Amino acid sequence: MTGGEDGAADEPRQAQPSPENDNPFDIWLKRGLHQLFDDVANEPIPEELLRLIEEDRDDRSA
């Protein structure tokens, strides 16, 4: 068993919280963000922007 610099046992690492165990603030924040931004995120990407992305992709591969 390894210890710290003073020979005491190292503290065990705490497990990362799983999604099922989110604290109330995290749940509130996620719900609020979804309410604010889901409509925007689900909008179609404008054709002009898609065209610009394709042109840039073609320029980089040439």
Are 20 and 14 in contact by the 8 Å Cβ rule? The answer is no
| pLDDT beyond 80 at 15 | no
11 falls in which pLDDT band (50, 70, 90)? low
In this predicted model, what pLDDT tens digit does every residue of 17-61 receive, in sequence order? Answer: 555 668 999 999 999 999 999 999 999 999 999 999 999 999 999
Three-state SS for 27-46 is HHHHHHHHHHHHHHHCCCCC
pLDDT at 62: 80
